[in-house]
């Protein structure tokens, strides 16, 4: 049961040993050797995607990228708990969630390259595109969940956001509305310890999960670098939502190993010693050590995982570099879900501008 936060839920220790937690272990008892190896592959592949996208930005192929290095377990564990019909409302860092939901890796960088308003079609995978407005997705997830509840749909929504977003009014309003109307929404906070350059100790004087308790929403803290722990608590929260129990709040305690975005330099505000300490809790190394302890790691499996990671990374790189610039008039497509008179007027004016033979001042042939 989700309840008052105490010690963060943990099922795998950093050294790969399992933790005796009968309640939460029972929730993921179906995760046998094959499923555990699949989770490890997800972690490795999504890190490789992130590494490739970061390199592409550094090489001038992307305008910006929000790295997820170190947060793979929080995203993979929660994403793999979702039902197919559940709807994801993400922030700007959930590339691993998108991969687990079935996004074509070739689409992951479209918006970040500046060739489209979005990366993928939300209706195909039930997941919104990256949201740059911090915290806005909390309101969207709550409204969607409540509307689905009114229509009798058996779905839940999940809203991903960081520790910094919990100080935004949008998240506060979403928590209040969800609690009042028992909306089937899971609030998933990836507490990665840094809201750009502000440490979480300044962001909140108490554990972030306790904020949800003030709204009457059950909350839990989980080791965000433990993929099984995250999978377990997310399954519990989703089960509560599907059963009509209303919203839940998960604080996944993790760490942003890289910059906030590729426009950021984390060495200006945090110490190398802090980063080195968190490297010891790496989410991929943790599962690897568990696999080694349980004799589930062999050379053939490792080779297959590396090959899959390289294959996906190659798709991301090739697709990014080969993306064609959009036609000028595509600027007005998909701005609103229905036709809007202002957009229609702007489209006509821009078409007339393009069609006109407008001389450029100061340019000679």
- Asked whether 240 and 182 are in contact (CB, 8 A), the reply is no
Q: Is 256 assigned a catalytic role?
A: yes
Q: Is 260 assigned a catalytic role?
A: yes
Choose, from 256, 288, 289, 317, the residue flagged as catalytic.
256
Q: How many residues does the chain have?
A: 365
**E-assigned strand segments in the chain:** 87-89, 157-162, 185-191, 194-195, 198-199, 219-223, 248-253
Scanning the structure block, which residue is given the tokens 């999504």? 46
Choose, from 48, 260, 286, 317, the residue flagged as catalytic.
260
Rounded CA separation 362/272 (Å): 52
Rounded CA separation 260/50 (Å): 13
- Asked whether 195 and 203 are in contact (CB, 8 A), the reply is yes
Q: Is 80 assigned a catalytic role?
A: no
3-state DSSP assignment of residue 221: strand
- Asked whether 196 and 159 are in contact (CB, 8 A), the reply is no
C-alpha Rg value of the chain to the nearest Å: 22
- Asked whether 140 and 128 are in contact (CB, 8 A), the reply is yes
- Paired strand residues for 185: 157
- Asked whether 204 and 195 are in contact (CB, 8 A), the reply is no
Choose, from 17, 83, 269, 304, the residue flagged as catalytic.
269
Q: What are the Cα distances from residue 332, in Å, to 245, 326, 349, 352?
A: 41, 11, 12, 14
Q: How many helices (H) and strands (E) does the chain have?
A: 15, 7
Strand duo 198-199 + 185-191: pairing: unpaired
- Asked whether 92 and 66 are in contact (CB, 8 A), the reply is yes
Catalytic residues: 256, 260, 269
């Amino acid at each position: 049961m989700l309840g008052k936060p105490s010690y963060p839920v943990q099922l795998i220790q950093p050294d790969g040993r399992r933790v005796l937690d009968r309640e939460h272990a029972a929730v993921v008892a179906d995760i046998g050797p094959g499923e555990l190896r699949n989770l490890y592959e997800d972690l490795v592949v999504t890190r490789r995607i992130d590494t490739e996208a970061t390199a592409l930005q550094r090489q001038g192929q992307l305008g910006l990228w929000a790295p997820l290095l170190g947060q793979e377990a929080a995203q993979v564990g929660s994403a793999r708990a979702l039902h197919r019909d559940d709807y994801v409302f993400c922030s700007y860092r959930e590339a691993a969630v998108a991969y687990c939901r079935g996004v074509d890796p070739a689409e992951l960088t479209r918006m970040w390259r500046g060739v489209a308003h979005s990366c993928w079609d939300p209706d195909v995978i039930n997941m919104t595109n990256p949201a740059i407005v911090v915290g806005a997705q909390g309101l969207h997830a709550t409204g969607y969940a409540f509307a689905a509840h009114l229509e009798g749909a058996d779905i839940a929504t999940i809203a991903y956001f960081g520790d910094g977003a919990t100080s935004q009014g949008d998240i506060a309003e979403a928590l209040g509305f969800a609690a009042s109307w028992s909306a089937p929404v899971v609030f998933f906070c990836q507490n990665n310890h840094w809201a750009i350059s502000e440490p979480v100790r300044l962001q909140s004087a108490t554990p972030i999960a306790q904020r949800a308790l003030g709204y009457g929403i059950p909350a839990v803290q989980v080791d965000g670098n433990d993929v099984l722990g995250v999978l377990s608590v997310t399954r519990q929260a989703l089960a509560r939502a599907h059963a009509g129990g209303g919203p839940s709040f998960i604080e996944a305690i993790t760490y942003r190993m890289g910059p906030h975005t590729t426009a950021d330099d984390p060495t200006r505000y945090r110490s190398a010693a802090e980063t080195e300490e968190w490297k010891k809790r790496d989410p991929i190394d943790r599962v690897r050590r568990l696999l080694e302890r349980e004799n589930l790691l062999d050379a053939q499996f490792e080779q297959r995982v590396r090959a899959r990671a390289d294959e996906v990374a190659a798709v991301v790189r090739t697709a990014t570099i080969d993306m064609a610039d959009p036609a000028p008039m595509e600027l007005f497509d998909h701005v609103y879900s229905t036709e809007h008179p202002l957009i229609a007027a702007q489209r006509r004016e821009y078409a007339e501008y393009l069609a006109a033979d407008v001389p450029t001042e100061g340019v000679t042939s």
